[in-house]
Structure 1
Amino acid sequence: MSERRVKDEADSELADYLAKLGARVRDARAKRGMARRILARDSGVSERYLAQLEGGTGNPSIAVLRQIASAVDYPLADLIAGTVTAEGALGEIVDLLQGVEPARLPGIRAAIERHLEGGEQANKRQRIALIGLRGAGKSTLGRLLAARLDLPFVELNRIVERDYGGSIGEILALSGQPAFRRYERRALESALREHDRVVISTGGGIVSEPATFGLLLDHCHTVWIKASPEEHMNRVIDQGDLRPMARNDEAMEDLKAILAARESSYRRADASIDTSGQTIEESLAALVAAVKPMLARAI
């Protein structure tokens, strides 16, 4: 093989790796719900360079990747490697799934979850947790559902703010994502300890912290409250929060990227309802219909 050909293949492999690395950085940022300018601020890496990196044209040092991983609270090794090789029985299961039609995967996942559940219904008891992106209606519907079913209502973000002594925005600005995730985990643990019967409204990014989301799935019946990206954005702005549009001309594209990055996690919920184009009364009726069978099985 000629020296030129070897170099061309090496360049091609590097370009492929950098493209995948950029995609992982973009995905990690989206799962955390961070605009690129926020990641630039928290990591100390310029927004222009982050754009190059996410586009696959950056060639960052380990030091730069470490800054980015710390800012998004994401394992550096996973950011660099991107994939983990499964071995043994797990590897065999992964191999079996490689050839399965995508349409069959949700049913297979449900079967595996039923197999693993064991006493899961007892663990979940009469706890309902609402997940989904901000603006879907989790807080409004959660309060109404709790009143309808005569259950307590807990909003995790309010517990976080109480325990921290400041707003979510202040936590993120002053202490960063890692601190917020620690407070969020403690808030969930507290809610689970105190309530066997409860409706919990979660923050949109709880699904991006695997351990915390796993705890929620194990101990609560979960419902994904979803809406179109346009309704998410309009509802947040209607609430008086103009931050989604502030200094960010790509707000809608960021929102769509967040939804895409989190969708597979949101789909792990026990049920889902779509509030797009629905009145509050219509959405509440759909939510009540979704959760009543779950609570009946828990009795």
Structure 2
Amino acid sequence: MPNDESTARLKRPDLSVEENNYLLMLGDRIRDLRAQRGMTRKMLAQQSGVSERYLAQLETGHGNISIILLRQIAQGLGFPLVDLVREEPEQSPELTLLLQYLSRYPPKTHEWARRLLQGELESSGRAARRQRVAFIGLRGAGKTTLGKMLAEHLGVPFMELAKVIEHEAGAELSEIFSLYGQSAYRRYERRGLESAVTNNEAFVLVAGGSIVSEPANFDLLLSSCFTIWLRASPEEHMSRVMAQGDYRPMKGNQEAMDDLKRILAGRTAMYSKADAVIDTSGKSLDDTFTELLEVLAR
């Protein structure tokens, strides 16, 4: 007898195999993006105004048939579906051709092209970028503790991007999310980062773990700061957060651990774009700080 998950993902008899596979792919994509944002299905339902029940159907390949019809229209026009639903202004012909050109090559070529362009555009500002150190990673990796130690060692300001955002918005993060939603938070996140970079030649910054979910903001961080990913095992992330007095992860412990692993897996590819990676698992604070100084001295 099939289990609940396999039953939920049974294919719809009214659609072709290819259409069923597309809906399953779409559901997997939404679930992966939700994990990158660090959002539960309930949180997404609240932010989007879409019921949890519909989201569950969508993530298991039972999305509305309208998406299939829209996809057919896109295919008839000879354009990718994303071009039909893009909300931003139409991109320049040069960017369109560049994206089309890059799409013919494997992902490793995309990384090479990004670094080539970044190097060309920022060669004059490379020394200035190294004066600004930014930490990324999930909660419990040691960003704040190591950040304060490094700022004191270097004699530069220590900043937490979350507090900069609250200053820019004139409200606490919880209020920003509840009153204005995810998109407003991302706008304030960019303004806060731009403000920090514009007004400080040197600093140590702790960025939110989810900044990698917004490519434009993460790209600004990478191009403006020497970025370090502080990595730890999911188990250490969980135990450190609880050691700080936050016992919320204890609620539904296995489910919380599964969510944590999914978030980490969803963000690893972007976290890996940092200039350096330091694994803090099983290391003392002093040993990790010594490694950090060695990384900066290279």
Output the TM-score relative to the length of structure 2.
0.78
Deviation at 1:113, TM superposition (A): 4.8
Residue 196 of structure 1, CA deviation:
0.8
The Cα shift of 1:264 comes to: 1.1
1:108 CA displacement: 7.8
RMSD between superposed Cα atoms in Å: 3.1
* Counterpart residue number, 1:227: 232
SS of residue paired to 2:30: helix
Alignment match, 1:39:
44
For the Cα contact (< 8 Å) 1:222–1:269, is it kept in 2? yes
Distance across 2 between alignment mates of 1:168 and 1:12: 44
**Are the structure 2 counterparts of residues 195 and 87 from structure 1 closer, same or farther at C-alpha, using a change threshold of 3 Å?**
closer
Listed as ranges, the matches of 1:1-299 within 5 Å are 11-59=16-64, 77=82, 88=97, 90-97=99-106, 113-114=118-119, 117-246=122-251, 250-293=255-298
Note the alpha carbon deviations across 1:80-111, whole angstroms, 9 max, x for none. 79xxxx9645544443437x7xxx98778656
2:136–2:271 Cα contact (<8 Å) kept = yes
1:219, distance to aligned residue in structure 2 (A): 1.0
Aligned 8 A contact 1:33 1:258 in 2: yes
Q: Which runs of 4+ in 1 moved over 6 A?
A: 78-81, 104-109
> Contact between 1:128 and 1:291, CA under 8 Å: does it hold in 2?
no
Q: Secondary structure at the match of 2:104?
A: helix
Deviation at 1:258, TM superposition (A): 1.2
Identity of aligned residues (%): 50
> Per the alignment, do residues 95 and 260 of structure 1 end up closer, same or farther by CA in structure 2, a change over 3 Å counting?
same
SS in 2 for 1:276: coil
* 2:289 partner amino acid: L
Q: What letter is aligned with 1:45?
A: V
Letter in 1 for 2:133: I
> Deviations 1:238-297 (Å, cap 9, x if unpaired)?
22223344468622121111111111111111001011111111111111111223xxxx
TM-score (norm 1): 0.78
**8 Å Cα contact 1:20/1:56 also seen in 2:** yes
Report the secondary structure of 1:136's partner residue: coil
